[in-house]
Amino acid sequence: MEQHPERTKTLAFLADLGKPTLRGIKKCPKCGTINGTRGLSCKNKSCGAVFRDGVRKQLPSIDAVRIVTGSASQVYSVRLRDRGPDYRGFVELGTSEAVQTVDGTIITHITGRCFVPTCFKVSTQGASEYQCQHVKLATECHLEATPHTLKSSVLNSLQVSGETKQAIWTLATESSGPLVQRITKSIMVVKCKASPKHSLGFLHVSFHEKARMKGVTERKFYCSCQAFKASKPGSIKEESPKRCIHFYACVCAFASDEKLGQEFSYFINFHSTGLQANTETQLLAIYPQDPTSQAAVSAVSKARKKKKDDITVSQPIDESQVSLSFQDWLASVTERINQTMHYQFNGRPEPLVFHVPQTFFDALQQRISMGSKKKRLPNSTSGFVRKDAVPLGTFSKYTWQITNVLQVKQIFDTPEMPLEVTRSFIENRDGTYELFKCPKVQVESIAEAYRRVEKQPTIRPLELKTFLRVGNMSPEQKEPTPFIIEWIPDILPRLKIGEMRIKLVYGHHRNGHIECREQQPPLGHNLELISCRFQQS
């Protein structure tokens, strides 16, 4: 066999190198791909393993997180590996189906839809060649997001426009599931209005802190709604700092939880001290820290109110423009319930009676059914004949019994008037009682509440409280105490106005001990049921 001189010379030159040591390269411990030793992460995009300790490590479970939707819908937040750890999209998985092949192998098919803008694929687990990496991450996910509570009292204290409050409240209540939930240390998922860009009704909001030189920390937030461009709070011009409602929703969620409030205190503080633009219809000053600024805001508010009152006196009122919204009406019902729970009385008030338009009660019934896919049926239905008073005739009465105090609060809470499940009172020298309110609630901002490390409790002369009795109040109680809503439609048939009755009981606490009052028959006793009765399905 003929040998090439050049090849023989080269082999002789390299003959003393010894065995290869694989110096400068290493295998990925996760997938086996050959990488350089200086590599920060695996170059196999479908692996994503991180090698260096100096780089922010991404655990495999962070690649995909299941979102709490409150329904059967399976929505996942997935990381876009080719764009960095802070870029995320959404994937929705459908139903699974087990299919047996000819050789007896059982394959499970899970349909999935990818909503990543650069992908938008519909794939099936069984057909791997058509499956995008985002759907694959979702199918392998075993981690669920952490939902965060949004307190109505915090939302009510947020000094933004009524329209912004209403928008946040609508997002929180119009669909099931939490308004804000945490995906990673810095990224939240917030409910939003469904649109072509956010067809699932969710979007990502991120809050970042990055240390710079000389002890300077850069903080910024970004919302994928892009209503306003990504912004760095420290560099925003004071005359026009704008936020989207998703940022406000996150601030309310942070302020509703003590640990989150401490962790994201900077964004709460910045939001509270940021100067907002004043318009003719809204005053967006967020808790000014300077007392002189507070006085200026009060002066402006009083001046506007006086100007509005003067205009009302000098000009006739257009009756066609006078209207009452459902939220305003419900707030009046909630205020009536709050007033009823007075310490001076025995806790068994007479039924609260309201004349209500049918459309308003339909909206209220939707709140009663909140959290359930089906419309909640009444616990009982009864018919009765009215002969001794007008209106005369035969009427139907529908009764709902709520046995969970949180559901009662969910039904009657509004941004303007939260339902008070407990109320505090002061006893006067003449034996009467008046409502006690801590003055700090009116002047202290959300930021101040979390800026102080230690909060001194308010000293009260006596701890006198009323509390709404709903459900089982003690281990010995066999039947839960109901909060009862009764509805008699068509009391005024031409205008479609009915009669709503609310029956409630409340208890009394004196210095932490339940105070016994005069006992009366249990709520709902001696109901006039003369036709039919059925249990809720």
Instruction: Give the per-residue pLDDT at 3.
Output: 56
Contact 523, 503 (CB under 8 A): yes
Burial 202-211 (b: 16+ CB within 10 A, else e): bbbbbbeeee
Main-chain dihedrals φ then ψ at residue 366, nearest 5 degrees: -65, -35
Q: What is the pLDDT of residues 244-303, one digit of tens each?
A: 889 889 998 998 888 888 888 888 876 654 333 332 222 222 233 334 334 444 554 555
485 exposure class (CB count in 10 Å sphere: 0-12, 13-18, 19+): buried
Instruction: Give the per-residue pLDDT at 522.
Output: 44
Token output for 337: 């319930």
CA–CA distances in Å: residue 490 to residues 82, 266, 361, 363, 366: 62, 54, 12, 16, 19
Helix (H, G, I), strand (E, B) or coil at 394: strand
Instruction: Give the per-residue pLDDT at 374.
Output: 81
Within 315-413, residue ranges assigned H as helices are 326-340, 358-368, 405-412
Number of Cβ within 10 Å of residue 195's Cβ equals 10
Q: Which residues of the chain have pLDDT under 50?
A: 53-61, 125-127, 229-241, 273-297, 300, 311, 440-444, 453-454, 458-460, 520-537
Using omega within 30 degrees of 0 as the cis cutoff, is the peptide bond preceding 147 cis? no
Report DSSP letters for 154-178, one per residue: HHHH--S-HHHHHHHHHHHHSSSS-
- Domain ranges in the chain? 60-139, 146-273, 326-451+459-515
Instruction: Give the per-residue pLDDT at 132.
Output: 81
Token output for 36: 């350089």
Contact 112, 97 (CB under 8 A): no
Instruction: Give the per-residue pLDDT at 318.
Output: 84
- Nearest of 338, 479, 347 to residue 419 by alpha carbon: 338
Contact 232, 220 (CB under 8 A): yes
The Cα–Cα gap between 108 and 139 comes to: 11
The Cα–Cα gap between 227 and 237 comes to: 17
The Cα–Cα gap between 91 and 77 comes to: 7
The Cα–Cα gap between 184 and 368 comes to: 33
- Nearest of 204, 231, 235 to residue 220 by alpha carbon: 231
125 exposure class (CB count in 10 Å sphere: 0-12, 13-18, 19+): buried
- Which of 68-76's residues contact partners 24+ apart within 8 Å by CB, and which partners? 68/144, 68/145, 68/147, 68/177, 68/178, 68/181, 69/176, 69/177, 70/175, 70/176, 70/177, 70/178, 70/371, 71/176, 71/177, 71/373, 74/138, 75/200, 75/202, 76/137, 76/138, 76/141
